Structure 1
């Protein structure tokens, strides 16, 4: 059994309500916007993702970030996992990411997590993204038991689950 149906087509553009931001699959060419977003919020992101993913390391270089984005781009093309970047309308700023992954732990058919840059924490765009992601996953993705890591289950509790 594969992770996604063979005929599934992933969304390529997801507007956020309000018309000032959108999600789209990340690409290697986004590194010039991704790297400063990640490193500018690195300490907070490490508290979220560090124990589980070892990311983002304090020594992350631009080239390593670019290589990581190329890996994500290839995984998206192959429907192995998905990384959607949050952009302003003109795509002059990358403001966060949404990850949609096959389950690493038992009890779910997908694992979803997301973040925004430090400057957006607690703002209307962040609240809009927080409201959108669960609804978007429920309506546009073929999952019966998605797990929202860091939302409906803490990262600590997720780490304690048995591997899939």
Structure 2
């Protein structure tokens, strides 16, 4: 048995209302857009994700990012986990990501987290994404008990939970 129903079809394009941005599954080919987005926000992202995921290291290279995105692309294809890039309409820039993963800790059936690039922190676009993600998960994903890491539970409290 997998963590998702066998017949589940993941969304491939999710508009973020009122922003001109959308979410779509990330691909290895997105490395030229992803690397500057991640490294431009590296210090803040490390504060958020570093203790849990050991990511993104300040020394991360373009090639390491490419390999990581290839892994994400393969995981998406296999329905093992999902990484959605936040892109502008013409897909000329990545402005954040949304992660949807099987539970690592007890008490949920899916774990969701997200971030935006530094220039969007506190913006209407970030607020729109913050509002969209829980609604999207409730509407389009088969979870009964999703957990919103860093939102509904702090990363520190999540790390203290027993592993699945």
Structure 2 distance, partners of 1:19, 1:118, is 16
5+ residue gaps, structure 2, are: none
Residues 27 and 70 in structure 2, CA contact (< 8 A), matched pair in contact too:
yes
Query: Is residue 2:24 matched to residue 1:21?
Result: no
Unaligned segments of structure 1, at least 5 residues? none
Aligned 8 A contact 2:14 2:23 in 1: yes
Residue correspondence of structure 1 range 134-153 to structure 2 within 5 A: 134-153=134-153
Alpha-carbon distance in 2 for matches of 1:12, 1:73 = 12
Q: Say if 1:19 and 1:89, in contact at 8 Å, map to a contact too.
A: no
Q: Which string of whole-angstrom CA distances, capped at 9 and with x for unpartnered residues, describes residues 102-140 of structure 1?
A: 000000000000000000000011000000000000000
* Equivalences for residues 1-164 of structure 1 within 5 A: 1-18=1-18, 20-164=20-164
SS in 2 for 1:45: helix
Does the 8 A contact of 2:46 with 2:56 survive in 1? Answer: yes
Contact 2:21/2:87 (CA < 8 Å) preserved in 1?
yes
SS at match of 1:162: coil
Tell me the distance in 2 between the aligned counterparts of 1:18 and 1:126.
11
CA distance, structure 2, for counterparts of residue 126 and residue 19 of structure 1: 9
Q: How many residues align?
A: 164
CA contact (8 A) 1:23 1:86 kept: yes
Secondary structure in 2 matching 1:24 = strand
Does the CA contact (< 8 Å) of 2:15 and 2:22 recur in 1? yes
The Cα of 1:19 is off from its aligned counterpart by: 5.1
1:7 alignment partner, SS class: coil
TM-score with structure 2 setting the length: 0.99
4+ residue stretches of structure 1 with deviation over 2 A? none
